[in-house]
Amino acid sequence: MKMKNVFIALIAIIFVSCNSEAQTEKEKKDMNEKQYAVEKTEAEWKAELTPEEYRILRQKGTEYPGTGKYNLHFEDGAYTCKGCGTKLFESGQKFESSCGWPSFDDAIEGTVEYIQDYTHGMVRTEILCANCGGHLGHVFDDGPTETGKRYCVNSASINFEKDGE
């Protein structure tokens, strides 16, 4: 009788494990089907973006460190999403991090979406444009400013608008 109970418990554990994995897959599927204010077909994105911008914004790529246009860029203005033009970061939020990518200590409230990213054997928080779903980069809890955050952003995912333009 005791062996039968152990067997039933094992079956229950296996069932729950499989069921929670299926739920995780469902959640991933739901996230991929999220609707954004700006929706375009893949053909439209490819027509509007360069191949590198498309790879980063739409396929979650990363540019090589130290190669981005805005890595060492410090002018007054705002950084916008290259995919849809949404204002994401103010120049006052930018700081020199020596990581090789533009770094900000905060985003403009409501403009960035946060997604857990388990790729490449790491646990990170991916940041997306909340308006079009474009991949911007990742946010880390190692920033040197009051927020303690470092929004590590690909230059190819953003544009810059100088103050007064």
> How does pLDDT run across 99-142, given as a tens digit for each residue?
999 999 999 999 999 999 998 899 999 999 999 999 999 999 99
Q: Contact at 8 Å (CB) between 143 and 66? A: no
Within this chain, do residues 73 and 120 fall inside the same structural domain, yes or no?
yes
Model pLDDT for residues 58-81, shown as the tens digit of each residue: 999 999 999 999 999 999 999 999
Q: Is 18 a catalytic residue?
A: no
Residues 115 and 138 in one domain: yes
Predicted TM-score (pTM) of the model is 0.79
Do residue 55 and residue 119 come from a single domain? yes
My answer on whether 73 and 154 are in the same domain is yes
Overall number of domains in the chain: 2
Rounded Cα distance between 150 and 63, Å, is: 17
Statement to judge: residues 12 and 69 lie in one domain: no
* Active-site hit among 81, 129, 132, 152: 152
- Tell me how far apart the alpha carbons of residues 66 and 147 are, in angstroms, rounded to a whole number: 24
Task: Name the one residue in this structure whose structure tokens are 């002018």.
Answer: 75
Give me the domain span that covers residue 123: 37-162
Nearest to 75 by CA among 92, 100, 87: 92
